[in-house]
Structure 1
C-alpha cells in the first residue's frame, strides 16, 4: 500500500508542562507566538506557516512531564543578532553565547523556556544551509 498522496496541513511538536499558564505567558509574551488552536488543556501556537508548538497540561496529555528534556525547538530567523540582543535584555534562562557552526552553516544561540525545554534561535550563514 502507498502512502496517502494528500498534502500535509501542519506540523505540531508537543511539549508537556506542569504549569501551563506560565508556559503560555512565555510563548506569548517572550516569544511573541500567536495562539492558533485552543483545545483547553492544550494550546497550539503558530511559529510560522505550517509549523506549530503545542503546550500540553501534563495532567491530561498523552505523555507526562519529565525533568530531562531530550528535545530542542529550533526556530530559524532572519536576524539572529537582534534576537540575541532581545534574549539578553530579557535575561532568558540558560542563555548561551552566540556561536557559529560552519559545518551546519548557522549562527545561533540557545536558552531554556520556563520548564527547561531548550530553544535554539538561528540564522543561516550561507545559502542552502
Structure 2
C-alpha cells in the first residue's frame, strides 16, 4: 500500500477549555487571530495560511481539560478513505475506526504518534465544515 500523494489541505491543533468564551476572547483580542470555522462548540482560528488552532469546549470534545494539557494534531486531507486504507496497512498505535460526526460535518479517524500524542486525519463532509 502506498501513501496518498495529494497535498494536505489544512492542519489544526486542538486545545481544550473549561471556559470557551474566555479562550475565544484571548485568541481574538490578545493574539488577533481570525475565526476561520465556527462549529458551535469548536472555534477554529487561522494562525497563518494552512495552520490553525482549534478551541474546544471540553464538555463536547474528544478529550477533556487537564492540568497537563492534552494536545491533538488534526490534519485535513482531500480523501480520508485513502488515508484510512493506508493507516490500516501500516502499524499505528490506537488506530480508531473511521467515524462520521454529522453535527460538525466530518469523517475522520485517530491514532497515536510514538510518544502518545493523538493525531486525527479528517475530511469535511459538507462545505464550510
TM-score, normalised to structure 2's length?
A: 0.53
Q: Which residue matches 1:63?
A: 63
* Higher radius of gyration, 1 or 2: 1
RMSD: 1.1
Aligned to 2:54: 54
CA distance in 1, matches of 2:49, 2:11: 9
Q: Which residue of 2 aligns with 1:26?
A: 26
Instruction: Report the TM-score when normalising by structure 1.
Output: 0.53
Give structure 1 stretches of 5+ with no counterpart.
72-129
> Which of 1 and 2 has higher RCO (CA within 8 Å, sep 6+)?
2
Q: Which runs of 4+ in 1 moved over 2 A?
A: none
Alignment of 1:101-120 (within 5 A): none
Gaps of at least 5 residues in structure 2 are 72-129
- Per-residue CA deviations over 1:99-121 (Å, capped at 9, x if unaligned) read xxxxxxxxxxxxxxxxxxxxxxx
Equivalent residues, number: 71
Shift in Å, 1:68: 1.6
Match of 2:28, SS state, is: helix
